[in-house]
Amino acid sequence: MTYIKKVAELPGLTSVPSCYAFTPSPNDQAVSEDPEDSIPIIDFSLLTSGTPDQRSQLIQELGQACQDWGFFKLINHGVPESLMEAMIEGIRGFFNLTDKEKREFEGKNVLDPISCGTSVNTSMEKVFYWRDYLKVFVHPEFHFPNKPAGFSELSSEYCERTRGVARELLKAISESLELEPFYIEKVMNLDKGLQMLYANFYPPCPQPELAMGLPPHSDHGLLSLVTHNGIGGFQLKHNGMWVNVNAIPNSFLVNIADQLEILSNGKYKSILHRAVVNKKITRISLVMTNGPSLNKIVNPAPELVKNGVDQPAYHGITYKEYLQCRQSSGLDGKGNLDRIRI
Ligand X SMILES: O=C(O)CCC(=O)C(=O)O
What's the min distance (Å) between Cβ of 134 and Fe ion? 14
Which is nearest to 330 in space by CA: 214, 233, 250? 214
If one asks whether residue 226 binds ligand X (CB under 6 A), the answer comes out as yes
58 binds, among Fe ion, ligand X, none (CB under 5 to 8 A by kind): none
Number of residue whose CB is nearest ligand X: 285
CA distances from 85 to 155, 247, 258, 291 (A): 12, 14, 28, 24
> Which is closer to Fe ion, CB of 58 or CB of 197?
197
How many residues line the site for ligand X (CB under 6 A)?
A: 12
Which span sits near ligand X by CB under 6 A: 54-62, 67-75, 228-236, 321-329? Answer: 228-236
Which is nearest to 274 in space by CA: 285, 266, 259, 261? 285
> Which is closer to Fe ion, CB of 221 or CB of 266?
221
| Cis preceding linkage at 203, omega within 30 | no
Which span sits near ligand X by CB under 6 A: 58-66, 141-149, 181-189, 226-234? Answer: 226-234
Which residue in the set 167, 273, 296, 326 belongs to the binding site for ligand X (CB under 6 A)? Answer: 273
> Which is closer to Fe ion, CB of 218 or CB of 265?
218
- 230-259 positions binding ligand X, by CB under 6 A: 233-234
CA distances from 113 to 34, 138, 164, 332 (A): 40, 8, 21, 23
| Spatial distance between the Cα atoms of 22 and 77, rounded to a whole number of angstroms | 38
| Cis preceding linkage at 208, omega within 30 | no
What's the min distance (Å) between Cβ of 331 and Fe ion? 9
Which residue in the set 168, 198, 282, 293 belongs to the binding site for ligand X (CB under 6 A)? Answer: 198
| Spatial distance between the Cα atoms of 60 and 52, rounded to a whole number of angstroms | 12
What's the min distance (Å) between Cβ of 133 and ligand X? 7
Segment holding 60, helix H or strand E: helix 52-68
Contacts 24+ apart (CB under 8 A), 9-12: 9/203
Which residue in the set 219, 270, 317, 319 belongs to the binding site for ligand X (CB under 6 A)? Answer: 219
Which residue in the set 155, 176, 259, 285 belongs to the binding site for ligand X (CB under 6 A)? Answer: 285
Other CB atoms within a 10 A radius of the CB of residue 280 amount to 9
Which span sits near ligand X by CB under 6 A: 17-25, 113-121, 204-212, 225-233? Answer: 225-233
> Which is closer to ligand X, CB of 161 or CB of 220?
220
What's the min distance (Å) between Cβ of 211 and ligand X? 14
If one asks whether residue 261 binds Fe ion (CB under 5 A), the answer comes out as no
> Which is closer to ligand X, CB of 133 or CB of 268?
133
Per-position b or e across 260-273, b if 16+ CB within 10 A of its CB: bbbbbbbbbbbbbb
What's the min distance (Å) between Cβ of 71 and ligand X? 11
Which is nearest to 130 in space by CA: 146, 117, 118, 140? 118
What's the min distance (Å) between Cβ of 289 and Fe ion? 8
Which residue in the set 61, 132, 219, 258 belongs to the binding site for Fe ion (CB under 5 A)? Answer: 219
Angle of the 151-176 helix axis to the 52-68 helix axis, nearest 10? 90
Provide the total of helices (H) and of strands (E) in the chain, helices listed first: 12, 14
Which chain residues interact with ligand X by CB under 6 A? 198, 200, 214, 219, 226, 228, 233-234, 273, 275, 285, 287
